[in-house]
Structure 1
Amino acid sequence: MKNTLIAAAFLIVGALSLPTSPVFAKSLSFETYKQKPKLVVVVVIDQFRSDFLTRYQKDFMPASSLGFNHMMSTGAYFAQSTYGIMQAMTCPGHAMILSGSYPAQTGIQINEWYDTKTRKKIYCADDAEFGFSPRRLKTTTYGDEVKNIYPDSKVFTVSLKDRSAIFLGGHRANMALWYEDKPKEWSTTKYYGDAPKWLEKVNVKQRTQGNLEDKTLEASIAGVNATMDLAITALNEEKLGQRNVNGPDVLGVSLSNHDILGHKLGPDAPELKKLTLEEDKQLAKLFSSLKQKNLLDKTVVVFTADHGIPPASDLLRVGKVATGELDFLGAIKQANEKLTKEFGSSGEQGWVETVFLNHVYFNRLRLAEKNIDSAKAQNLVKDIFAQIPGVYKVVTREQVLNAQIPYFDLRWPVENSFVPEAAGDLMLVMEPFYTQKTGAVVTHMTNWNYDNSVPVIMWGPKWFQAGVYAGSKVVDIAPTLSFVTGVLPPAKASGRVLDEAFKSNK
């Protein structure tokens, strides 16, 4: 009897710990399920925190204009979705959106990391053969799964940033296009084959324009216009959603200028509000194009962001909120002195080679040469870095590898984010509103809500019930799209199907 009760208790606890659908989950009728979308459009705004939609809702165009208010009022609006990762940035964010997977699964932990073997920095989308590609992505995306069973489907993505277009598209995208500021034109790489012929006509005009990546409001408005225009051109020229093929086409567009201007001015600057209102117009322009092509009832549109942003430090200080920039130099010196005293000379490089994006990288080559236990070195100096003003906690590499993270509030985001090839020997978790020195007015690279909370809207009146919902994660987007379009979820997808938002059969 006792064993039976214990077994039952474990079953109950196990069931409670599994990801489940909400109690009020809905089902699609088989007739609705058979009516697959012809087109899936994914719109991402870089650095668009979840409260930006509610903050400026009254200033957006009316719902009839087909902008934000249209999506919020007629779509399944998950007002505060979360990433649940340690460092919210562009590369890991875009890699998560259509893979449904966390950085620990995608292999994309941060935008750039330090390689202790080559002693060089590695960019997330670098490719020795092609310059840029999605090859560092260690899973498939929604678009890849569509192409796996429907080879005739097309996947096109566009963004000012190469990494945004590349990781939205995945491995099998027909084309990923991004902006190069030197020739001031839209570009791609041979990984995707030859650029579409219609692109040259676009670039002839684009080369006569100003730099779309300039950190001004004027350039930012021009940038979101040019990016959306390119997406609509791809829609028209490639006849996305308009061809007689079995599977859906996929169009991904990421608007980068919000991030570019936001880093310079901070999210509360009046210029950022003006840019948000311009983005409202651009979304309306996209919906109008879909309407003109008679595609609205054949399309699912997803809107989200790759990460959020904290308020600027000067605004926080006025509000008497603790803030500041971390200074690592003193800690690096102390750590090197302590490690030298313990282990002797480190050679030409210090024992601590660098601190980059809040990761402390040791001289692992020298540690291996001297047969020194890395865990011992980590434990010797972790408290030195923990004493830096603005550091919340320090997590060691060994703690993560052995599943012994001692801080309950950090276990989930750290485990979600840890990529052995990219992570440092120590990972510094900042106090809220503290940042690493970057030269920007404000930046994002934390696990706190202001960086992790973004909106998610699933729009498609045939499939999704209008309403405001809670409880979603960004990794839920890809499994939901996979379900609605009848393809397999991406290989490592961890999210769930957002079935509570399905159109009611009643």
Structure 2
Amino acid sequence: MKTSLLLPLALSIPLHAAAAPAAPAPAPASASSSAPKLVVVMAVDGLPQEQVVRYRDQFGQGGFRRLLEGGAWFTDAHQAHGTTVTAVGHAAILTGAYPNQHGIVANNWVDRATGQQVYCTEDRDHKYIGEETDPSDGTSPARLRVDTLGDQLRYATGNRARVIAVSGKDRGAILLAGKGGTAYMYMESSGNFASSTWYMQQHPQWVQRYQAGKPQDRYYGQKWTPLLADSAYANDAEGPLFNFSYYSEGGKPDADYYKRLKEGPPVDELTLDFARAAIEGEALGANPAGVPDLLGVSLSGHDYVNHRHGPESRMSHDHLQRLDRMLAGFFSYLDKRVGADGWMIVLTADHGFANSAEFSQRQRIDAGRVDSKKLMAGLEQHLAATFNGAKPITNAVLPNIYLDGGAIDKAGLKRADVEQAASRWLQAQAGIADVYTRTRFEESGATGTRQDLLMRRGWHRHESGDLVVVTRPYWAFGSGTGGATHGTPYRYDTSVPLMMMGKRWIAPGNYTQYAEVVDIAPTLAAVLKVRAPAGAEGRVLTEVLRGSAR
């Protein structure tokens, strides 16, 4: 039984207090079985490779260190597309596809049919089970245009393989689960994990039992305090900030409190807790049909911490160390539950992170923020003045800007002229490095630079904007004077961990070969002996595979 690592007050609280009763131990795998009984695909939202390297000496024995020393670690791995945000990165992991294939071009973009903003996993035909659902909430993978490894595994096994994904964010779970799996996501209004009517009409009994135990309430009234000695944080950018408490103004657990749980370690502890309940409730890794199962886990807390405090902060440093200890407990659980030689894992991230602009400025780096509203207002004013009052922009969700083809035609203008006028003006603004136009994508193609390649991969002709704006390095869209973000084609945003571990399938070592996150799906397809997803463009990482997995 694992205990919470969050706070002294929580040390005596069992993490599985509300989990489903333990199912019988799984039967040993047959001697003829060559595939893992359970494949775990884990994404740590917003974890740059740089942080793994910087803090690795402080890791314990069973978490990241176990992956680094007992698994295969690619030291030059990337989310190799231009718009490095959560939805895009999660979609790449198990489709093996770039956005120009899988169609998830951002967290939010504009539906050309309506001209309105849409959310990546929004589906108004479906609702959360037993939870309040807003029209723009993420409830299905309907907008994902390709299949996933889990879909292929289900197909190859006659739908007998179980594919489950769980995350603190709906898009993190849904885009890992694919079309045929089942996604469970954290509900910030109640602290429950719930699925949607895309997957089922009613939760299974094990989910209902888990929810009834209300494990999310155990953090109420507690504070996030440092895990390590003060000297461990001496090289971090910020002084002590450990004054974050989990409470609500109402004096008891409510929506405000449950939302606050997302901004630190609790959301990740709860996600792994629910993953354990899913393993036991669905008998993952002990499939009675004798086929492999797939579990996707997306840990969302690090992204929230980095956005609020910056990856250079003590809060981010401490969160990563806590996450390391959580992983150690989860891996130990899998050893006991599935058997140390019965499961394998791939750990990666959906994107990296830039340092906060203020921190970069203190390092004498050119950095800043581009106010999106002011930028778009200035662009619209410029285009109206240039084209006799015309209003050729229909909507924008930066970095994507959408043009109104009807308005352009009505004004007797040429689309290419509007694109060029907008591009020239934008590139003259502070913090803007480049603008990619539809004409440039469709006619000129890439010029051969790394940035051009990543931007082309990230552009979908039906979903992306007619203009895609790239900020200068260390600049970002936004306002305010704190926090950090991501979303560019620069290496601090693309460089992510890519680690694989599995005694029977993966050869340990540090691999300096260039690798991409899109390589994960075809590599796992080779291990599982199933067809790779249709849109997969990655390569099989044969250098890490043992003989039987090749």
| Counterpart residue identity of residue 68, structure 1 | F
Q: How far apart are residue 271 of structure 1 and its match?
A: 1.3
Cα 1:402/1:247, change in 2 over 3 Å = farther
Please say if 1:452 is aligned against 2:498.
no
Indicate which of 134, 143, 166 corresponds to 1:158: 166
Instruction: Tell me the distance in 1 between the aligned counterparts of 2:258 and 2:66.
Output: 28
Matched, 1:305 2:305: no
* Mapping of residues 50-69 of structure 1, within 5 Å: 50-62=49-61, 66-69=62-65
Q: Determine helix, strand or coil for the equivalent of 1:325.
A: strand
Residue number among 100, 109, 112 corresponding to 1:113 in the alignment:
109
Q: Equivalents in 1 of 2:63, 2:42: separation in Å?
A: 12
How far apart in 1 are the matches of 2:299 and 2:265?
Answer: 10
2:421 is aligned with 1:380: yes
TM-superposed CA distance for 1:313, in Å, is 1.5
Go from structure 1 to structure 2 and tell me whether the alpha carbon gap of 1:215 and 1:202 turns closer, same or farther (over 3 Å shift): closer
Aligned to 1:88: 84
Output the amino acid matched with 2:153.
V
Q: Distance in 2 between matches of 1:227 and 1:318?
A: 36
Give how far 1:484 is off. Answer: 0.6
Q: 3-state SS of the aligned residue for 1:233?
A: helix
Match of residue 297 from structure 2: 253
Contact 1:395 1:405 in 2 (8 A): no
Q: Does 1:423 align with 2:464?
A: yes
Cα deviations by residue, 1:1-49 (Å, 9 ceiling, x for unpaired) = xxxxxxxxxxxxxxxxxxxxxxxxxxxxxxx996111110111110000
Asked if the contact 1:334–1:384 (Cα under 8 Å) also holds between the matched residues in 2, the reply is no
The answer to whether 1:468 aligns with 2:476 is no
> Could you tell me which residue of structure 1 aligns to residue 544 of structure 2?
501
Work out whether 1:268 is the aligned partner of 2:312: yes
Identity %: 30
Deviations 1:108-142 (A, max 9, x none): 01110123442321100011211410111111111
Paired AA for residue 312 in structure 2 = D
Alpha-carbon distance between aligned partners in 1 of 2:447 and 2:359, rounded to the nearest angstrom: 33
Paired position in structure 1 for 2:24? none
- 1:435, 1:443 within 8 Å by CA — same for their partners in 2? yes
* Residue type at the aligned position of 2:48: R
- Taking the aligned partners of 1:116 and 1:363, their CA distance within structure 2 comes to 9
Contact 1:84 1:452 in 2 (8 A): yes
Q: Does the CA contact (< 8 Å) of 2:77 and 2:495 recur in 1?
A: yes
Verify the 8 A CA contact 2:81 2:454 in the aligned structure 1: yes
Say whether the 8 Å CA contact 2:83–2:455 is kept in structure 1.
Answer: no
Distance of 1:127 and 1:168 partners within structure 2: 17
Report what 1:134 is aligned to: 141
Partner of 1:490: 533
Opposite residue 282 of structure 2, the aligned amino acid is: E
Is residue 260 of structure 2 the alignment partner of residue 214 of structure 1?
yes
Cα separation, partners in 2 of 1:316 and 1:33, compared to 1, 3 Å: farther
For residues 330 and 320 of structure 1, what CA distance do their matches in structure 2 show? 26
Instruction: Please name the residue that 2:336 is paired with.
Output: 292
Match of 2:183 in 1: 176
Distance 1:368 1:484, change over 3 A: same
* Secondary structure of the corresponding residue to residue 214 of structure 1: helix
How do residues 341-356 of structure 1 correspond to structure 2 at under 5 angstroms?
341=385, 343-346=387-390, 350-356=391-397
Matching residue within 424, 432, 443 for 2:473: 432
> Are the structure 2 counterparts of residues 285 and 329 from structure 1 closer, same or farther at C-alpha, using a change threshold of 3 Å?
closer
Change (3 A) 1:495 1:212: farther
Q: Report how far residue 373 of structure 1 moved.
A: 2.7
Deviation at 1:390, TM superposition (A): 1.1
One-letter identity of the residue aligned with 2:323: E
Task: Quote the offset at 1:405 in angstroms.
Answer: 4.0
Q: Deviation of residue 343 (structure 1)? A: 4.2
- Which of 66, 71, 78 in structure 2 is aligned with 1:70? 66
CA contact (8 A) 2:358 2:368 kept: no
Alignment partners' CA distance in 2, 1:307 and 1:472: 14
Amino acid at match of 2:36: P
| Residue type of the alignment partner of 2:527 | V
Rounded to whole Å, the distance in 1 between the matches of 2:166 and 2:103 is 22
Deviation at 1:421, TM superposition (A): 2.6
Amino acid at match of 2:75: A
> Deviation per CA, 1:160-197, whole angstroms, max 9, x where unpaired?
10000000010000x21001111221111111103222
- In structure 1, the partner of 2:48 is 49
Structure 2 CA distance for aligned equivalents of residues 469 and 33 of structure 1: 30
2:97 equivalent to 1:101: yes
Q: Is the 8 A contact 2:446 2:453 kept in 1?
A: no
| Matched-pair contact (CA < 8 Å) for 1:215–1:260 | no
Checking the alignment, whether the CA contact within 8 Å between 1:95 and 1:168 is kept in structure 2 is yes
Which of 187, 191, 211 is matched with 1:203 structurally? 211
Q: Residue 275 of structure 2 corresponds to which residue in structure 1? A: 231
Change beyond 3 A, Cα 1:215–1:182:
closer
Contact 2:99 2:459 in 1 (8 A): yes
Q: What is the letter of the counterpart of residue 448 of structure 1?
A: Y
- Structure 2's unaligned 5+ residue stretches are 1-30, 128-138, 221-256
